Amino acid sequence: MTLGLFDDLPATPQAPECAVVLRGLALPQAAALLQAVDAVTAQAPFRHLITPGGQRMSVAMTNSGALGWISDRGGYRYGSTDPTTGLPWPSMPAVFRQLAHDAAEAAGYPGFAPDACLINRYECGTRLSLHQDRDEGNYDHPIVSVSLGIPAIFLWGGSERADKARRVGLWHGDVVVWGGPARLRFHGVRPLAEATHAMTGALRINLTFRKAG
């Protein structure tokens, strides 16, 4: 994929209603992040959640941190235990916490201390339809989203589902941050094209950090 085919998002916090893309910010920590993902998933394996409407999500998910995002027939929510094991979610690895803090600061949100890290695992063909992140206790804190492995096309929409979405290419190590007036923007991920990456094989791993409680 070449960048020219895509829309762009600013690299500095100049447009408050927009997300910021910090290209390659996570590259130095990528190996440590993926090792930490393995440690988390050894305790809390990836699983395909069921939407409230009864659909199996194509993206596999798990969590680390005091709170984890879950979905089932009862709705979308955060909980302190993994419903699969009944145990607390694995604690948030220090390398996760530090990167989330530093990325938020670089995007103009100092002092970010997430209590939830949703880990998404995308295989080729999987997608995340346009949605808002609105299950958190308040919207005062930003969202920090870290891309690892094979590339994806991120959809950056508007405040209404029907608004035209920009198509933003995201590569291994890229970090997207949005908050403030952009906090409730619709966003999603296009079905992933087939690809392989030296560190993840045919997978994309996304870490989404939030302050949920």
Residue nearest to ligand SIN (CB): 206
Opening angle at CA 37, ends 142 and 40, nearest 5: 100
CA distances from 40 to 83, 118, 140, 164 (A): 15, 11, 27, 36
Which residue, 36, 4, 205, 182, is CA-closest to 119?
Answer: 205
Rank residues 139 and 199 by Cβ distance to Fe ion and give the closer one. 139
With binding defined as CB under 6 A, does residue 96 bind ligand SIN? no
**How far is C-alpha 101 from the geometric centre of its chain's CA atoms?**
14
Determine which residue in the list 78, 145, 153, 156 makes contact with ligand SIN, applying CB under 6 A.
145
Q: Least distance to Fe ion from the beta carbon of 31, Å?
A: 25
With binding defined as CB under 6 A, does residue 128 bind ligand SIN? yes
Rank residues 24 and 86 by Cβ distance to ligand SIN and give the closer one. 24
With binding defined as CB under 6 A, does residue 153 bind ligand SIN? no
Tell me if 174 sits within 8 A of 22, measured CB to CB.
Answer: yes
Determine which residue in the list 133, 179, 189, 203 makes contact with Fe ion, applying CB under 5 A.
133
Q: Summarize as ranges the residues that interact with ligand SIN (CB under 6 A).
A: 120, 128, 145, 154, 187, 189, 206, 208
Q: Summarize as ranges the residues that interact with Fe ion (CB under 5 A).
A: 133
